[in-house]
Structure 1
Amino acid sequence: MSVVQRAGAVQRAGVVRFSSRLHDERVASWLGIWLGVSFTIAFVTGLISHFMQHPPGWLMWPSRPVNLYRVTQGLHVIGGLATIPLLLAKLWTVYPKLLQRPPIRSVGHALERAFIFLLVGASLFQVVTGVLNIAYWYAFPFFFTTAHYWTAYILIGALLIHVANQWATTRHTVMKRPEDGLNRRAFLATVAAAGGAITVTTVGEAFPPLAQLAVLAPRRPGVGPQGLPVNRSAFAAGVTQANANDPAWRLRVTGRVQRELSLSLSDLRALPSRSVRLPIACVEGWSAGATWGGVRLRDLLHLAGVDPDARVQLVSMEVAGLYKTSWVSPRHWHDPLTLLALDVNGRPLDLDHGFPCRLIAPNRPGVNQTKWVHRMVVA
């Protein structure tokens, strides 16, 4: 039988033949295990990030440990980037099965392929939109945070169903000693090395000793005004130097208070000052530590006569934006490390860092460290 005749016979039998012997179950199983672990870590750390930014009413997120968000979000983003070669390798290994004919052989097979379609689609969606988000390129018409959050549930649900369906096969495959001479280790080591290379060239955005190696990171510690990166500049927020330096500027504390306050910048600087060492940690995975000086938020609220269980809304001079305001829970404003900061690294705040004053609090996402604060409303 000629080569053409054999190819025709294989095609009529409903099987697509590929040249590489690495399209086998053992390679696919090991990649699947690694990918499952990686997706699980991303899902858990992603939930932490989401609920820190948008805490439900029943959740009182702690202010300690100070670096919790810095570590979990760094792990989420850097680990997610390292997953890319793993996901591509997995798809390359199994794509012959995705192209088998006939595509549907039974109702059960149709359901199985539907969940695989959800798994593959959700995986690619999360990776692609995640990369675009940390690159600050919003080339999609939907709000990234909402889409990323809900797609994560689709991904993890489809993954659990896939694991349940493939568990017996995977367990048998990885536990059985291979009988062929195929060098799978070199392929798997190459995939692991690619993920490691991505990690090394991005982890410096959250780990300063490796900052010089972070060539793939969108932000690096030490780069920016006053030695700190900036995501949203004053120009982007619509805050001008003239507005910030307006002699009529006052910080007003209103709402459920015994005494309403209206404080100028000089008044704030006349209050007892504190200095703390805290990081700015952003959703894109980067973080940078700094020394902040200013007034403890709890001292300011005690001056206004606020109830111990009150929540406080900080309002920015920012013209518009989803994070123009943020809520501070009792656990955070009672913490002595939470400041209404006036200085950073020994100098008055740069306009891009929130001059004349901003919030800085432990274990809090950067988008909720409100800049250009001019009003506090106690609820």
Structure 2
Amino acid sequence: MKLPAPPTAKSFPSPLHHPRVATVLGRWLGSAVVVCFLTGLYSHFLQDTPSWLPAPSRPANLYRVTQGLHVVSGTVAVPLLLAKLWTVYPKLFAKLNPKEIGHTVERLSILVLVSAMGLELFIGFVNTLQWYPWPFPFRQTHYALAWVIVGALLVHLAFKLPLIRTHWRRTSELVPTSLPAGTTGLTRRGLFRTVAGAATLVGITTAGQSATPLGSIAVLAPRKPNIGPQGLPVNRTAQAAGVTGIGADWRFTITGPRQLSYSLEELRNLPQSRSALPIACVEGWSQGGRWEGIRIRDLLELCGAPAKSRVRVLSMEKGGFYATSELPEEFAADPLTLLALRLNGTELALDHGFPARIIAPNRPGVLQTKWVHRLEVIA
């Protein structure tokens, strides 16, 4: 059977398939990609902080803002990418000329760029739903794809720079603002307004999972941040973590220059502190809470360790990537960092980490370890 011929520019006579239109949409898409990339780098940095570059514990709400922007900008990039591809659609099927190395490299860079961006946005969206239908680790793959996109984008821009410079500013001689006589459809302004409106609508109806004032209209957000035990959502339940209950013989241990052990009642009798901090998760949702418990720096003092000590946190969770975590020195010394025993005025629910969990400023939710039973001071 003979395959149909690939589409050509003649198949799409609309003046909207024009370099000026592609340049404008490319600017919008590029802005979303830059915000998404930089905020994603910050999230990766907080989860894999190098020893030579300490992560800041303040501002306390910084990760809540950056990760909210990361997910919103990634979501907004979807309609922008579709509009951009539609604008240049006729040229996507241009035949390769093996004799022109530059042309071949350019076409291959576009193939890599479009494929990587499509996969990146897809797995990022699926991650917000906490659905992982693939065998590879999400975070590492997501991070690697981001660098592939940046590399392919730089190659693409290098080849297209002369064309982009020509059409960067609005020039009536280059593209008409209205349709030629006898044709119907969107004008250039109409297309821009439609795409901008769609991107804005998608962003606003997603941002409510981290921006509280927009919560009532967050119809596209997979999470309602105020729904869950004690007013906070739960990503990983106690049952999923293999924590079915806490026996009366439960004890908390901290090891350092001295090893100390406390029952739950003894922890409650230690001096208590309060912190108003959000849980901010990599899926983009966040919600503030009022936490009560013992400051980590006070526990370090009790066991004879310096306030600025690196601390390993061990959970009763059975397996999982985050059954243990580390508190860098800046976080352990911060007076807002608690071994929390209470949330919003009541004892922690089991799904929120009863009997004790970590809560610290400017930390991803996956590192706010639940069901803590042991802290180890790292020399």
CA contact (8 A) 1:16 1:99 kept: no
CA contact (8 A) 2:308 2:333 kept: no
**Offset at 1:98?**
1.1
**Secondary structure at 2:325 match in 1:** strand
1:165 aligns with 2:150: no
Opposite residue 319 of structure 2, the aligned amino acid is A
Which residue, 130, 137, 154 being the options, matches 2:131? 137
TM-score by structure 1 length? 0.93
**Offset at 1:174?**
2.9
CA contact (8 A) 1:69 1:364 kept: yes
**Offset at 1:176?**
4.9
Match in the other structure for 1:8: none
Following the alignment from structure 1 to structure 2, what is the Cα–Cα distance between the partners of residues 98 and 341?
55
Instruction: Write the deviation string for residues 161-192 of structure 1: whole angstroms up to 9, x where unpaired.
Output: 22222122112113251232342111011111
Distance 1:267 1:69, change over 3 A: same
1:334 aligns with 2:333: yes
Opposite residue 269 of structure 1, the aligned amino acid is R
**Secondary structure at 1:57 match in 2:** coil
Instruction: Write the deviation string for residues 3-41 of structure 1: whole angstroms up to 9, x where unpaired.
Output: xxxxxxxx8998653243311111111111111111111
Opposite residue 123 of structure 1, the aligned amino acid is M
Following the alignment from structure 2 to structure 1, what is the Cα–Cα distance between the partners of residues 6 and 201?
43
Following the alignment from structure 1 to structure 2, what is the Cα–Cα distance between the partners of residues 329 and 214?
35
Following the alignment from structure 1 to structure 2, what is the Cα–Cα distance between the partners of residues 125 and 138?
13
1:227 aligns with 2:228: no
Q: Hey, which bits of structure 1, 4+ residues long, moved more than 4 A?
A: 11-16, 102-105
Which residue, 89, 92, 110 being the options, matches 1:95? 89
Match in the other structure for 1:70: 64
Instruction: Write the deviation string for residues 56-81 of structure 1: whole angstroms up to 9, x where unpaired.
Output: 22121011000110000000001110
Opposite residue 285 of structure 2, the aligned amino acid is W
**Offset at 1:221?**
2.3
Match in the other structure for 2:18: 24
Following the alignment from structure 1 to structure 2, what is the Cα–Cα distance between the partners of residues 300 and 174?
59
Distance 1:13 1:342, change over 3 A: closer
Instruction: Write the deviation string for residues 329-351 of structure 1: whole angstroms up to 9, x where unpaired.
Output: 11111111000000000000000
1:187 aligns with 2:187: no
Match in the other structure for 2:288: 289
Count of residue correspondences = 365
Q: Which segments of 5 or more consecutive residues in structure 1 lack a partner in the other structure?
A: 1-10
Opposite residue 358 of structure 1, the aligned amino acid is R
Distance 1:298 1:102, change over 3 A: closer
Following the alignment from structure 1 to structure 2, what is the Cα–Cα distance between the partners of residues 36 and 75?
15
CA contact (8 A) 1:206 1:286 kept: yes
Following the alignment from structure 1 to structure 2, what is the Cα–Cα distance between the partners of residues 272 and 368?
24
Following the alignment from structure 2 to structure 1, what is the Cα–Cα distance between the partners of residues 331 and 340?
15
**Offset at 1:363?**
0.4
Match in the other structure for 1:249: 250
Distance 1:343 1:54, change over 3 A: same
Instruction: Write the deviation string for residues 184-213 of structure 1: whole angstroms up to 9, x where unpaired.
Output: 111011111111111111111011122111
Following the alignment from structure 1 to structure 2, what is the Cα–Cα distance between the partners of residues 313 and 178?
63
**Secondary structure at 2:126 match in 1:** helix
- Percentage identity across paired residues of the two chains: 52
1:240-279 correspondence to structure 2 within 5 Å = 240-241=244-245, 244=246, 246-254=247-255, 257-279=256-278
1:343 aligns with 2:355: no
Distance 1:359 1:23, change over 3 A: same
Following the alignment from structure 1 to structure 2, what is the Cα–Cα distance between the partners of residues 105 and 25?
25
**Secondary structure at 2:341 match in 1:** strand
Following the alignment from structure 2 to structure 1, what is the Cα–Cα distance between the partners of residues 93 and 319?
49
**Secondary structure at 1:359 match in 2:** strand
Match in the other structure for 1:5: none
**Secondary structure at 1:126 match in 2:** helix
Opposite residue 117 of structure 1, the aligned amino acid is L
Instruction: Write the deviation string for residues 216-262 of structure 1: whole angstroms up to 9, x where unpaired.
Output: 11212210001111111111101012xx2x111111112xx221011
Opposite residue 347 of structure 2, the aligned amino acid is P
Following the alignment from structure 2 to structure 1, what is the Cα–Cα distance between the partners of residues 7 and 366?
57
Normalized per residue, which structure has more helix?
1
CA RMSD of aligned residues (A): 1.8
Following the alignment from structure 2 to structure 1, what is the Cα–Cα distance between the partners of residues 270 and 142?
43
Distance 1:250 1:178, change over 3 A: same
**Secondary structure at 1:377 match in 2:** strand
**Offset at 1:103?**
5.8
Instruction: Write the deviation string for residues 292-313 of structure 1: whole angstroms up to 9, x where unpaired.
Output: 0001111011100113442100
TM-score by structure 2 length? 0.93
Following the alignment from structure 1 to structure 2, what is the Cα–Cα distance between the partners of residues 248 and 103?
74
